[in-house]
Amino acid sequence: MNSQSGLIPRLPEGRWALFLDIDGTLLEHAAHPDAVSVSEELRVLLERIERRLDGALAFITGRSIAAVDHLFDPLKLRIAGLYGLEHRLLPNGQVEAADEPADMAALADEIELELASKAVYVERKGPVLAIHTRAAPQLLKRATELVGAALARLPKGYRVIAGNAGVELMPLEAAKGAAIRRFMQLDPFSGRRPVFLGDDTSDENGFDTVNALGGISIRVKPQGETAARFAIEDVAGAIAWLGANFGDPAGAALPLRALSA
Ligand SMILES: [Mg+2]
């Protein structure tokens, strides 16, 4: 691609595999993760892109697959959920669930006891524990301390990722980059060039992977350090870019803003 203009070759010239984070990338964040909704336009666009890419489209998200299916109902796509701990390799295929979850219930209970009455949402996602502080940003620091203390009490093999508006505790093998690599080994992704859009700390590992595979890494609403090579300013811009480059055979392609390395 021409990195000066940020224009990538259009379909069908480019044989792309597209990987999409959901929250903060395709959907504006809400105070509570259940408070978001998916427009009919977005569903239709994703269906069209999926067809035009011969299926080489997958969600790569921290949400569970069940939560994403509920949100996008009736649309089902290929997906890695819980940062790659769950997979569905075909749109209507079986969900390969995460390994037996560690019992984090007691830790979640304790954190909830201290924080949940203060507009903090403690989300239990099996092997992943997410503390959402978007509605109470002043509590992010305390939430991070509590999750750090919880990490110290778990067996080895877990880590903490602090994001834009919360902090999550997850098994080490939960990594978006590994989820992208897994898809890239399979039809219809293999042999294509990966493009990954994300907006948060947990997406950085996906950007590194896509860069290493010679693909295109795009951070939506970048703030501070990022491994992504390109930026899009907001969710509306991301959807417009996807529509122009992958959804609309007649429209003009939109450029990306290159980030200096
Ligand atoms: Mg996100």
Domain ranges of the chain: 16-97+175-258, 105-171
Q: Which CA distances in Å does 70 have to 45, 60, 64, 220, 260?
A: 18, 16, 10, 24, 38
For the record, the structure tokens of 208 come out as 């590194």
List, by residue number, the catalytic residues: 21
Contact 83, 59 (CB under 8 A): no
Rounded to an integer, what distance in angstroms lies between the CA atom of residue 162 and that of residue 237?
25
Q: Is 76:36 a contact under the CB 8 Å cutoff?
A: no
Rg (CA), the chain: 18
User: Ligand 1 mean position to 154 CA, how many Å?
Assistant: 26
CA distance 245 to 253: 5
1 pLDDT more than 80: no
Q: Which among 136, 213, 220, 124 is positioned nearest to 169, based on CA atoms?
A: 124
Helix axes 204-212, 176-184, angle to 10 degrees: 40
How far, in Å, from the CA of 92 to the mean position of ligand 1? 24
Q: How far is the CA of 204 from the centre of ligand 1 (A)?
A: 11
Dist CA 219 CA 203 (whole Å): 8
Q: Directed axis angle between helix 235-242 and helix 40-52, to 10°?
A: 40
- Residue reference for tokens 């224009």: 7
- In this chain, the answer to whether the domains covering 16-97+175-258 and 105-171 adopt an identical fold is no
- Most confident range (mean pLDDT) of 10-14, 104-108, 202-206 is 202-206
Chain-centre distance for alpha carbon 140: 21
Q: CATH assignment of 105-171, given 1.10.1740, 3.30.420, 3.30.1360, 2.40.128? A: 3.30.1360
Using the predicted structure, report yes or no on whether residue 3 has a pLDDT greater than 70. Answer: no
Whether the pTM exceeds 0.85: the reply is yes
Q: Which CATH number fits domain 16-97+175-258: 3.40.640.10, 3.60.20.10, 3.90.1300.10, 3.40.50.1000?
A: 3.40.50.1000
Q: In what order do the strands lie in the sheet with 158-163?
A: 121-125, 128-132, 166-171, 158-163
Helix (H) / strand (E) element for 219: namely strand 216-220
Distance 61 CA to ligand 1 centre (A): 7
Q: Give residue-wise pLDDT tens across range 86-97.
A: 999 999 999 998
Answer whether 229's CB lies under 8 Å from 261's CB.
Answer: yes
Which tokens hold the place of 5? 């203009």
Could you give the CA distance from residue 127 to residue 83 in angstroms, rounded to a whole number? 11
Q: pLDDT at position 261, please?
A: 61
Model confidence band, residue 117 (pLDDT cutoffs 50, 70, 90): confident
